Amino acid sequence: MIKRIGCIELPVSDMKRAVAFYQNTLGLKKTYEHPVWTAFDVNGTRFALAASGTKKSRNGAKLCTSCSLCVLRYAAGKMKHDREAPTANSVLYFEVENLDETYGILKEKGVEFLTEPKEQGWGGRTAIMVDLDNNIIVLSEA
């Protein structure tokens, strides 16, 4: 069912500062950059930074309506539009062989999904679920 970890995402409060740290200080190879999501290759494993509001931030949670995961976090109650925005959780991406089959099996087992399998702009398909602590897990099929 699950093949491997596809990506580990870390929420950050300042994307430019975080990218500079991971790229320049730690020497990670940047593979993709977007104002709210930047990916690096760590010896074959994708590591990503995601812009996120943090608790008691002066600017509160910043929500990018074009970013499905930001919208998802808001819809799932992980972020609010006010100054007391909760710290966003990390997001774990699992790559799967057959997304529809995996979705069906997990749905039958009672897993709560926030989205059904759907096409993404980058060419793959995803379904988004939560674990027992409401951590976000993205099932991905390339």
DSSP conformation letters of 72-138: HHHHTTS--SSTTPPPPPPEEEEEES-HHHHHHHHHHTT-EESS-SEE-TTS-EEEEEE-TT--EEE
Q: Which structural domain, as residue segments, surrounds residue 99? A: 2-141
As for how many domains the chain has, the answer is 1
pLDDT digits (tens, 9 = 90+) for 77-135: 444 444 433 344 577 788 999 999 999 999 999 888 888 999 987 788 999 887 766 66
Residue 85: which CATH number? 3.10.180.10
* Cα–Cα distance, 107 to 109 (Å, whole number): 5
Q: Does pTM top 0.85 for this prediction? A: no
